[in-house]
Structures are given as C-alpha cells and as structure tokens.
Amino acid sequence: MTTVENTPSTGRRDDVAERLLRSAGELSYDPLAEVDWETPLDPAHHGCSPEWSTLYGTSYWDEMTEEQRAALTRQEAASVASTGIWFEMILQQMVIRDFYAKDPTDPAFQWALTEIADECRHSIMFARGAQKLGAPAYRPARHVIEGGRVFKAVATGEAAYASILVAEEVLDVMQRDWMRDDRVAPFARTINNIHVVEEARHMRFAREETRERLEGVGPVRRRAQALLVAFAAYFIVTSMWSRKVYENAGLDPKRALREAKANQHHRAMLRSSCAELMEFLGSVGLLTRPARAIYRAAHIL
Ligand SMILES: [Fe+2]
Ligand SMILES: [Fe+2]
C-alpha cells in the first residue's frame, strides 16, 4: 500500500476522481423531482437570509417593512442564481474544452462529465427558481458578458479551475446559510441544499486540479494566471447583485444603490465568507500582490 504522501500525483488524482464518482453515485439529486415547484410562493418568505441582503444594516433597511425586505431578498436571491447560471455556462464550456479527446477510461474524464451534467441540472434549477421568486432575467453588464465570452474560450489549466473554485466557494458559504434559514422560502432552501451537496464534490475537484496544474509552473506564468483568476473573481462577485433588484422590489433605486454601495456590513460578510478561499489561493501561490489588490477591490479580501 502506498500512502498519500508518496503516491504519484496521477495516482492521487485517480483516487480523488474515483471517490467523487462513487459519492455522486450515492447522493445526487434531480431538482425537477426534488424541489417543490407547485406550492405557490408565500410573500412573507425571504429569498435568502436577510443578513445577506445588500441593504441589510443600512438606514434604508431600517425604514423598510418586513414585506419590502422579503421582496428585496427574493430579487437578490434570483440575481445571485442568475449570475450562477451565467458562470455555470462558462464553466461547462471550460471543462468540456479541457477534456476534449482525452482518455475516456480516465476516472477524471468521467468525473468531469459528471460535473458538467450536475451543472446543467443546476442551471435549469436556478432558472426555474428565479422565475418562481418572481424575478425577471438578471444578466451581468454587457462588457462582463463579452469578457466572459472570451474567457470561456481561452482560459485553460489552473486559471480555469481556480476561477471555477472562486465562483463555487463564494456561492457555497452563502447557500449554507440560506438552506438552514426558516425565513427563506422552503423551495429555495431545497435548491440551496442540493447545490451545496453537489458543489462540495466540484470544489474538491477544482482544488485538486488547480494544485496539480500549478506543479512545476514557473513564476511568470503563475503571476499571469494569478492575475487572470483575480479578474475573473472580480467580475463574478461584482455581477452577483444586479443593480436592477431594487426597482424590481419596489424600492427607490437611487437611494438603494447609494446605500448598498456604501454598505460595510455586506462587505464584511463577503470578506469573512471568502477567508478559506483566500487561504487556499495563498497556499498555491495565486495570491500575488496585484491579485490581492483586485480581491480587495471586490471586497473578498
Ligand atoms: Fe452548480
Ligand atoms: Fe460546480
């Protein structure tokens, strides 16, 4: 028997992929069957934990009725889910490209396709969820959509997997709160629960791939990739909460946007939820000085 420490990295990679495949075989969900799509939405229910609202802690929030707060968090949760769909489409294309014409007997190949199938189900689930929350289509700004179009066509290796990890980790911490919160609409809690369970495997794979592909990478490439990942993170995080949510929740959009932009509470929530992610990026050498500046600008460091 070989130990983890002296297992060659391909052996370790196979082990991880095989374990993930087994785990997916034991516990995966069909959201179309698992989520209660039928029961009508109760307007008293929130879309996410109120503490995660971009207005929580502002003077505007204090003036809002409980109903207005719930209406806002429903739009905000739909916006986050819609950004999730946008990124899951980027992610699926990057993984498909990465495994194009590779060895199908490789457990990592089979795992990658399993992950793509998960993401495809997630995106449908988020789309239906956002609709049920009464939200219109929320999409990132035009320049972000076009930037994403280029990124998903060219990003490879560690840059692809590290940015996948960033998106998944940021979402994960929030959804862990929301799935346990009985102020949140039950169907939305189920959606979050499904996503948390299945994404735990994705994050394991993304961490493994990032670490592996950075092995032996020189400083120039590492720095360049670190910068690319940080930019991807910036656009993912700053696209999560659409500025249109306030108007759609019936609020004064100017005042809401102004107070949300200055909301230190929300920034602190983001920063603390990304602590582990930053630790990982640091451990693999992706937290270079310019990258750190970008993470700070996105309020995740
Ligand atoms: Fe997902
Ligand atoms: Fe994922």
Question: pLDDT by residue (tens digit) across 174-183?
Answer: 999 999 999 9
pLDDT bucket at 146, cuts 50 / 70 / 90: very high
Query: DSSP string of 38-75?
Result: SSPPPTTSBSS-GGGSTTTTSHHHHHS-HHHHHHHHHH
Please state, for a pLDDT cut of 70, what percent of the chain lies above it.
97
Ramachandran category for residue 288: left, alpha or beta (phi over 0 → left; psi -120 to 50 → alpha): beta
How far away, in angstroms, is 62 Cα from ligand 2 center?
Answer: 36
pLDDT value for 13: 85
How far away, in angstroms, is 60 Cα from ligand 2 center?
Answer: 35
User: Can you tell me the mean pLDDT for 105-127?
Assistant: 98
Q: Quick check: 3 pLDDT over 50? A: no
- pLDDT tens digits for range 16-67: 999 999 999 999 999 999 999 999 999 999 999 999 999 999 999 999 999 9
Q: Quick check: 9 pLDDT over 90? A: no
How far away, in angstroms, is 125 Cα from ligand 1 center?
Answer: 10
Q: Quick check: 6 pLDDT over 50? A: no
User: Can you tell me the mean pLDDT for 184-193?
Assistant: 98
How far away, in angstroms, is 236 Cα from ligand 2 center?
Answer: 14
Ligand number nearest CA of 20 is 2
Task: Count CB neighbours of 132 within 10 A.
Answer: 21
pLDDT value for 11: 82
Ligand number nearest CA of 123 is 1
Q: Quick check: 159 pLDDT over 70? A: yes
How far away, in angstroms, is 55 Cα from ligand 2 center?
Answer: 28
Summary mean pLDDT of the chain: 95
Task: HSE, CB side, 13 Å, CA atoms: give it for residue 19.
Answer: 12
Please state, for a pLDDT cut of 90, what percent of the chain lies above it.
95
How far away, in angstroms, is 172 Cα from ligand 2 center?
Answer: 10
User: Can you tell me the mean pLDDT for 165-193?
Assistant: 97
pLDDT value for 10: 73
How far away, in angstroms, is 201 Cα from ligand 2 center?
Answer: 8
Q: Buried b / exposed e across 238-268, counting CB within 10 Å, b at 16+?
A: bbbbbebbbebbebeeeebbebbeebebbee
- pLDDT tens digits for range 69-88: 999 999 999 999 999 999 99
User: Strand, coil or helix: what is 275?
Assistant: helix
Ligand number nearest CA of 91 is 2
Sequence-distant (6+) residues with CB within 8 A of 263 are: 54, 55, 56, 57, 58
How far away, in angstroms, is 206 Cα from ligand 2 center?
Answer: 9
For the chain, the straight-line distance linking the first and the last C-alpha, in angstroms and rounded, comes to 41
Which residues fall inside 5 Å of ion ligand 1, going by CB?
119, 122
pLDDT value for 149: 97
pLDDT value for 2: 38
Residue type, 282: G
pLDDT bucket at 8, cuts 50 / 70 / 90: low
Please, is 138 exposed, middle or buried when counting C-beta atoms within 10 Å of its C-beta (0-12, 13-18, 19+)?
A: buried
Nearest-CA neighbor of 288 among 237, 221, 213, 235?
Answer: 221
Answer yes or no: are the C-beta atoms of 158 and 217 closer than 8 Å: yes
Integer Cα distance of 145 and 96 in angstroms: 20
pLDDT bucket at 68, cuts 50 / 70 / 90: very high
Q: Quick check: 125 pLDDT over 90? A: yes
Report CA-CA distances (Å) from 232 to 153, 197, 291.
Answer: 13, 24, 11
Ligand number nearest CA of 201 is 2
Ligand number nearest CA of 200 is 2
pLDDT bucket at 4, cuts 50 / 70 / 90: very low
Q: What are phi and psi of 145, to 5 degrees?
A: -60, -45
Sequence-distant (6+) residues with CB within 8 A of 246 are: 72, 75, 252, 253, 256, 257, 260
Q: Quick check: 158 pLDDT over 50? A: yes
